[in-house]
Chains A and B, each alone.
Chain A
Amino acid sequence: MIMVENRELVVPGQQLAEGDYLVSDGVFREGKRIFSTVVGLVDIKGRRIRVIPLQGPYVPKEGDLVIGVIVDVHPLGWIVDINSPYLANLLVQDYLQRKVTPGRENLKRFLQVKDVVVLRVKRVDEKKQVLLEGGKPGLGKLKGGKLVEISPMKIPRVLGKKGSMLSVLQKSGRCRLLVANNGRIMIWGSDGDVARVTDALKKIEREAHTTGLTDRIKLMLEETKEVN
């Protein structure tokens, strides 16, 4: 028996259902009853119940695309800030994708502190120690552009259904965007366009839980298009 509507806003401790359902993210089970653990929107698909959180930290998952900032270089690789409670480790061989003799390479030749890189999460263990990898198509050091940070929970909304929101941002915003799972977005374009898209992103972050957002963003970007 389900006690809430699909897409309803719920708070921690609120009962969502009773009975034989599959629990997913954002919910927990006590006996036969199922409760929400976060403030978020209920998502019911068949027998699977989850709550999409509206706020929260980025917890790295294997296979995620992240934009990281190098914070330290050590003999075997780099320490990367990935906008999460946990710093991540990038080993030289995972970045160069070849065998490396420790101590033979000067790592600062490849990446230095403060460099911005797109990487993929290679492995996360139970202690949340994160290993990253690079050196594959689409991964690597980023040049130019503006880095914008929004709440990582709102990233699905920036992409939209089948990337609809992203294509609006790119087309009407006249910018190229790189959206990473950890809440960081890189924007390339003219200064005016970048500023417009940044405003649009902030609007998406504020209004992520409302409907008809893609159309409003499109309208907003089209309206400001001429001014710049």
Chain B
Amino acid sequence: MEKPEQLIVDGKRLDGRAPEELRPIKIVAGALGRADGSAYIEMGNNKVIAAVYGPREMHPRHEAQPDFAVLRCRYTMAPFSVEERKRPGPDRRSIEISKVIREALQPALFLELYPRAVIDVFIEVLQADAGTRTAGINAAAVALADAGIPMRDLVSAVAVGKVDNTIVIDLMKAEDQWGTTDMPVAMMPRKKAITLLQMDGHFTEEEFKRALDLAMRGCEQIYEAQRRALKEKYAVGGTE
């Protein structure tokens, strides 16, 4: 794809969205049969699946903690998830993302209820279009709730950034590539407690405040979608 001359034309973005508009979201709770909890999410062209196993016995044993459960996260991208084939398996980037996702989810969990155990979270990106770590966090939060693991709150995440000098939310590939700033934010919306904040590029102090405010409003919308997905899973029963 060539760099377009303008990323924002007449206040509309390349895909026709307004600057403060999210991409369409679809979340399915319990998408996998064999996992203890799972979720599938589509955020625009991102397609991500999350699976949760546990709490279960920690292997290797010596890594278990005597007074709380350990949370393990593994974020990976499928070889076909991007334009150029990605070599499968963890690389520098996905190891880092696994770490920040783990730290974004951890504050929401009551890990002290399951000493010596481990909770495994697997996040598999099937199709990527910028913002896979935030989509992964959104899916993982739903999957954890679906597994019945006690949580203080769900975790919602969205990226904000600066494109053509405009603050935008939920960047897509072209904006991520040619925009000036990208800032993924994850939080527990109920208390507005931020659990992940990264930034690539520059914001002035005033821009940062506006961007963070926009991210918080975006997270509220995603939070609603997550809650709806969890409720929908059980709303259908009673018919067969």
Contacts and interface: CB of A to CB of B under 8 A. Distances in A.
Interface residues on A, range: 20 to 34
Contacts of B149: 38, 56
Given A11-B231, A86-B116, A56 B147 contact: yes
B148 A53 contact: yes
Contact of A55 (B37, B54, B227, B237): B37
Where chain A touches its partner, the secondary structure class is loop
Given A9-B234, A128-B116, A87 B57 contact: yes
A209 B36 contact: no
Contacts of B148: 38-39, 53-57, 153
Nearest to A207: B237
Interface in B189-240: 189-190, 227, 230-231, 234-235, 237-238, 240
A26 interface: yes
B237 A209 contact: yes
Interface residues of B, number: 36
A55 B234 CA distance: 11
A35 interface: yes
A35 to B, nearest CB: 7
B55 A85 contact: yes
A57 B54 contact: yes
A128 B111 CA distance: 13
A79 to B, nearest CB: 11
Nearest to B190: A13
A127 interface: yes
B56 A12 contact: no
B237 A39 contact: no
Interface of B: 36-37, 54-57, 66-67, 108, 110, 113-117, 145-154, 188-190, 227, 230-231, 234-235, 237-238, 240
9 contacts: A13-B189, A38-B145, A39-B234, A54-B148, A57-B36, A57-B55, A126-B115, A127-B67, A207-B240
Closest 3 CB pairs of A and B: A56-B148, A13-B153, A55-B148
